[in-house]
Structure 1
Amino acid sequence: MRVVVAGATGLIGSRTVAGLRDHGVEVVSVSRGTGADVVTGEGLARALRGADVLVDVTDAPSRAEEASVRFFDTATANLLRAAATAGAEHYVVLSVVGAEHLESGYFRAKRLQEERVRRSPLPHSIVRAAPFFESVESLALMSTYGDGVHAAPVLVRPVSTDDVAAAVAHVAVGLPLFGTLEVAGPEEFRLDELTAKLLAARGDVRDVVTDPGARLFGARIEERTLLPQSPARVGHETFTRWLARR
């Protein structure tokens, strides 16, 4: 089996490549560093030659809605076209839990990406991940105001990037789902409380302000939007173990 991974040098991509190689499959990495550009399409035909599966774990360079929509629309179209030309039999794309419910921000961009994949003639699988532990950390930096870090009191089951990559690799070597698999962590938190735990563990003395109006990557989130909507694949790593590893 020959699996091509687009976004292979990213946080999830590098781990997915390692996981696929553990499955004993041939892996081809696609990134600008390897001479393939998902935005311009340059080098994709060469990289996907002979591919059985294309794994799309690319990510937009910006979480802003307009930039995200533009990136995913262009990159996904190019990847789908190249995969179809190469005769690939399975397209696996990484998305986010909650994408189908939100009409704004980065989540809207991911929902539109999902819709493009579903409309394509290629057999497909969509893996939706709950927020990564690293995403919560990044969000704390993005949501700092004069009175502290603002975080919404919404429920999350944050997941480690290792567990997400393992799920993506597992789906890639299996039969197409023609649907969605959600991946979440083993514990449930409120986002504001989790943010406070993370800051305390880092020795960060900023206050966490519980703000129902706080946005997540440009979208206003309801209490249960970020929880899996169907039985999910549950990761192994807890928040405490993740902190210890860091």
Structure 2
Amino acid sequence: MIGGTGLIGSKVVARLKADGHEAVAASPNTGVDTITGEGLDDVLKGASVVVDVSNSPSFEADAVMEFFQASTTNLLAAEAAAGVGHHVALSVVGTERLPESGYFRAKVAQEELIKGSGAPYTLVHATQFFEFVKGIAASATDGDTVRLPSALIKPLAADDVADAVAGAAVAAPLNGMTEVAGPEEFPLDELVRIGLKADGDPREVVTDESAGYFGAPLQERSLLPGPDAHLSTTRYADWLTAGR
């Protein structure tokens, strides 16, 4: 599990272990660095599946591109040498529709490396997590005002993302992409407005259709999955009141 000590990775590892699988968390915290290659060959010995849920420490356009290209290239080469039979990677719904964002361009580059590697693979595209609503607000805040468009989104809980990734890890490779999203559709500005209110945050959310999303302009349906997406069951209001 590359990125196995993070928000999603730690949850996926716990699920796989609970189901009786041997799951190993791999990250710089455990001595595995996909950028330098440190510890990579050793941790992949005997692995049948590699799941990559890692993320760049910087979202600056050049830095994030360098991270995903270097990390994915090194990881795929080490997997080929170790005889790994399935590469699973977590990505984002709408990635291919947001080329103005350096982050999403980097995710597209990551996916192209995986598709071109010849390795059996599954790409799990998830919508935004409830846990990142604060991050969306922070990226769109100017003073005490949050400016966001009303583009539609179907967010979901990190627990539900972990379920989807764990399921992909034990299934046969799709050599393609599957999507997972939440059960409810929200305008992006309203999603953040609800979240800030629940936290007692006094910032005002202003609807601004010209506002970007992590550097990318949005159309109404840019962040929505396709009709065949798997829908989770956790509702936003329930998550907000569950203690998080």
TM band (smaller chain)? over 0.9
* Structure 1 match to 2:209: 212
* Structure 1 match to 2:47: 51
* Structure 1 match to 2:229: 232
2:22 maps to 1:26: yes
- Please give the secondary structure, in 1, of the residue aligned with 2:67: helix
Separation in structure 2 between the aligned mates of residue 189 and residue 141 of structure 1, nearest angstrom: 19
Which one of the candidate residues 66, 85, 108 is aligned to 1:111? 108
* Structure 2 match to 1:146: 143
CA apart distance, 1:211:
1.2
* Structure 1 match to 2:175: 178
Deviations 1:59-101 (A, max 9, x none): 0112222221111011111111111111000000000000121
CA apart distance, 1:147:
5.6
* Structure 1 match to 2:184: 187
* Structure 1 match to 2:125: 128
Unaligned ranges ≥5, structure 1 = none
- Give TM-score, length-normalised by structure 1: 0.95
Separation in structure 2 between the aligned mates of residue 77 and residue 218 of structure 1, nearest angstrom: 26
- Give TM-score, length-normalised by structure 2: 0.96
2:7 maps to 1:11: yes
Separation in structure 2 between the aligned mates of residue 205 and residue 32 of structure 1, nearest angstrom: 37
CA apart distance, 1:35:
1.2
Which one of the candidate residues 80, 86, 105 is aligned to 2:82? 86
* Structure 1 match to 2:159: 162
Separation in structure 2 between the aligned mates of residue 138 and residue 146 of structure 1, nearest angstrom: 15
* Structure 2 match to 1:62: 58
Letter of the 1:103 counterpart: P
2:92 maps to 1:96: yes
- Please give the secondary structure, in 2, of the residue aligned with 1:114: helix
Separation in structure 1 between the aligned mates of residue 178 and residue 115 of structure 2, nearest angstrom: 14
- Please give the secondary structure, in 2, of the residue aligned with 1:41: coil
Letter of the 1:58 counterpart: S
Unaligned ranges ≥5, structure 2 = none
Identity rate, percent: 50
Bigger shift: residues 167-176 or 101-110: 101-110
CA apart distance, 1:45:
0.2
Separation in structure 2 between the aligned mates of residue 220 and residue 63 of structure 1, nearest angstrom: 17
Letter of the 1:77 counterpart: T
Are the aligned partners of 1:150 and 1:208 in contact in 2 as well (CA < 8 Å)?
yes
